[in-house]
Structure 1
């Protein structure tokens, strides 16, 4: 069954089908999935504002707030499982088995700290299944609502980034986790720092604007989604400003990949060529206009200096591809000879794990994600987790490409972001983990086209059993 097929295949499980049937039979318009839908929205909002809670609002609770999304994730998993949303899903089953086994091997054969083991295993057991909960509950209309929210939020987020860029690290707006007055920014260039905006670390800024870029490009291509042109222009300006003010090469790469995906999509749908020309002209005009502003020129100079300095250090594009990308993938295996069969213990490669084990934050295993997985769980279990991630990404990519063939750009543009982060972004850091889960879930959920009003048959939105069952 094609994931884009609007057939009446329900999410696996009797409970969901029975609730939908009873709702229609009694004429009740309430959506039985609405509570799960609200839960996913709350998870997403907490992902964006978790850092703000830990820095500005409740700095004294910074440590427990690190796990603020975990209880919600557990509830979503249990509620989804009761509705049959995870039945027969081999991805979830394998991850659960690996995570459970890794707990025992970490305690008895590895670092021996049960708290560190549980913290590491929660990634596989609690957060990973959320991808499929999002897929079963959300559809394209829900993702468009998410996109509208992101477009609105892009503007104040860019303004905050500008304030952080020009403010000293001792300023309130730049406070670190727990109200740290030494600042939460990360060294950038020319004595300017990379601002974390509302996140705990600067990586969140790049991930946020990278996801926003997907929706901004989509709404330019598809004006039927009731995004006002003035709002879209303001959000586009905010996106352009975020690149130099973030001093983030990752964000530049992310936006560039999304733009490339736009061109690939248009090459299959030539009727959109005129819109791409208009978008290009508008963006160029915006960039030229921003370039006349002194505050933008300063940020551009700092960003250019960082790019040039990094290129000199890493040897240009070849050095970046060979040294950072390929080494992150292949280096995990070339340096695995001395790693124990069951690894050093799950959770040891995380910041929380290193703090609990040594009293300070440091890389105890590897900085790269694949190296961390193999170092924590050993060659066999680590490779299984890597394979699961690559296999799931492949299925998401195929589903998105099928929708592109039907002229639907949204899954394809979201895939551009999934491509950059899902296979290799670190799951050891809560913000990066949250974005991996959310973006993968949003991408595959956007392939589901609502065939009937949600108030009459809430669960019948073309759930592909082959995808859910892996």
Structure 2
């Protein structure tokens, strides 16, 4: 009966996503936010299946787009250096999926999913948003989810650790306790919140991704209602970042902000006052609310940061760890999925061979990548990530439309700062990572479409000044 129900559910999901791939992709970005809530509170008995829910939805969309859709409805995969790096890295990962050290290729296929499954999004997103206005409306709606999620985070912080609202996802793979702020022997504050997400690191990655998307919208001309909604979202994001206790999230957000303002200031020194003006009111609101209304959260974060002196080790240790792990294999590695926590559960469920034992402990993603796909794979994978960073910066330099240009800058900064952070083993951030990567192809396409539309309007003598980047009528650029 359970198998029959599962098959019916999978069939319904495929029908749903296959019938409308655009809707399915947008639903995936909703599921990534509410997935943890479903696993923790709604259907905890189906936690492991819900973990793959968005992947099932996305798989149906992939089949519809890449197999069933006519070629004229697709975005062409161009001859681009990022695409070349993707295919080389994917080829090596595919080879490592059949590494004999894994004991079974089933484990390798599961590991292959963690590396490559979200990459096809980068060629779908340009077809998903045909105009700049549609992209803006999607970002605006997705970021609006920050309001209920952020309010939930505040409630979690001031609730006891024993409350059901502060539960983590309990599974066979990871049985963890709710984390609290601890400074020495003193608990300084409440729990480290997770929002609607399964664990702290999932929520922390979501907050950083949202911060990168909020920055361009702050300086974008919106209606008054959406301007204040954006400020509220930024306030909740800031407070929740402190409440997670995640130092990487807070420090990364600060670096993104400094880099964002610094690069924009350097590229347009004469407009520095105009650049800072949109950030004035949000900065005042966020600062006052954070230090007066939520001082306990700020103090708890500062206490945790000052009580731990492992920041430099966590930043640079992951890099040196990868170099030290290369010696365990000559050319290849232990295979894709060899270090994944889910591989152990998969072996137990299907009674698969254990495979070769990895002779060293590991934690950082760089070290795990070196162990799984070896030195050649390590060079290809991080060569790909560096090529994406370069491509995003080149896109930023070429674009002229303000919103598109600033989105490219945010994506560049997040990719650059997170170069040694988790991606392969972080199913929440992976979705946003490849969404940001799609900007390489999406944003130039949208600028071309917008320029063409404006030229057509000019030829028809029906120019609408509300859609020009230099309009100053006080109205929103988009309704």
Name the SS for the 2:181 alignment partner. strand
Deviation at 1:365, TM superposition (A): 5.5
Deviation at 1:136, TM superposition (A): 4.3
Name the SS for the 1:234 alignment partner. helix
Deviation at 1:119, TM superposition (A): 1.1
The answer to whether residue 96 in structure 2 is matched with residue 102 in structure 1 is yes
Cα distance change of structure 1 residues 329 and 350 upon mapping to structure 2, 3 Å threshold: same
Name the SS for the 1:188 alignment partner. strand
Name the SS for the 1:223 alignment partner. coil
**1:214-229 matched pairs, under 5 angstroms:** 214-224=212-222, 228-229=226-227
**1:213-292 matched pairs, under 5 angstroms:** 213-224=211-222, 228-260=226-258, 261-269=260-268, 270-271=270-271, 273-277=273-277, 279-280=279-280, 282-292=282-292
Deviation at 1:396, TM superposition (A): 2.1
Name the SS for the 1:346 alignment partner. coil
| Counterpart Cα distance in 1 of 2:214 and 2:110 | 36
| Counterpart Cα distance in 2 of 1:247 and 1:332 | 26
Cα distance change of structure 1 residues 134 and 290 upon mapping to structure 2, 3 Å threshold: same
Give the match for residue 339 of structure 1.
Answer: 329
Give the match for residue 371 of structure 1.
Answer: 367
Deviation at 1:62, TM superposition (A): 0.5
Structure 1 window deviating more from structure 2 (221-230 vs 124-133): it is 221-230
The answer to whether residue 44 in structure 2 is matched with residue 59 in structure 1 is yes
Aligned equivalent of 1:438, options 422, 435, 439? 435
Aligned equivalent of 1:186, options 155, 179, 193? 179
The answer to whether residue 328 in structure 2 is matched with residue 329 in structure 1 is no
Deviation at 1:303, TM superposition (A): 0.5
The answer to whether residue 46 in structure 2 is matched with residue 50 in structure 1 is no
Deviation at 1:207, TM superposition (A): 1.8
Deviation at 1:376, TM superposition (A): 0.8
Aligned equivalent of 2:109, options 97, 115, 118? 118
The answer to whether residue 391 in structure 2 is matched with residue 399 in structure 1 is no
Unaligned runs of 5+ in 1: 1-32, 315-319, 457-470
Deviation at 1:175, TM superposition (A): 2.0
Structure 1 window deviating more from structure 2 (145-154 vs 272-281): it is 272-281
The answer to whether residue 407 in structure 2 is matched with residue 410 in structure 1 is yes
| Counterpart Cα distance in 2 of 1:87 and 1:73 | 23
**Offset from partner CA, 1:261-307 (integer Å, 9 cap, x none):** 123213323335245145235413442244233xx121111111011
Deviation at 1:59, TM superposition (A): 0.9
Deviation at 1:225, TM superposition (A): 6.6
Deviation at 1:363, TM superposition (A): 11
Deviation at 1:308, TM superposition (A): 0.7
| Counterpart Cα distance in 2 of 1:133 and 1:228 | 28
Deviation at 1:72, TM superposition (A): 2.8
Does the 8 Å contact 1:365/1:376 carry over to 2?
no
Structure with greater contact order relative to length (CA < 8 Å, sep ≥ 6)? 1
**1:59-208 matched pairs, under 5 angstroms:** 59-82=44-67, 83=71, 85-86=76-77, 89-105=83-99, 109-138=100-129, 140-178=132-170, 185-189=178-182, 190=187, 192-208=190-206
TM-score, normalisation: structure 1: 0.77
Give the match for residue 382 of structure 2.
Answer: 386
| Counterpart Cα distance in 2 of 1:227 and 1:449 | 26
The answer to whether residue 306 in structure 2 is matched with residue 308 in structure 1 is yes
Deviation at 1:61, TM superposition (A): 0.7
**Offset from partner CA, 1:363-388 (integer Å, 9 cap, x none):** 97522222111101222123222222
Deviation at 1:341, TM superposition (A): 3.0
Give the match for residue 12 of structure 1.
Answer: none
Aligned equivalent of 1:448, options 441, 445, 448? 445
Does the 8 Å contact 2:147/2:236 carry over to 1?
yes
Does the 8 Å contact 1:177/1:184 carry over to 2?
no
| Counterpart Cα distance in 2 of 1:356 and 1:114 | 12
Name the SS for the 2:145 alignment partner. helix
Cα distance change of structure 1 residues 386 and 215 upon mapping to structure 2, 3 Å threshold: closer
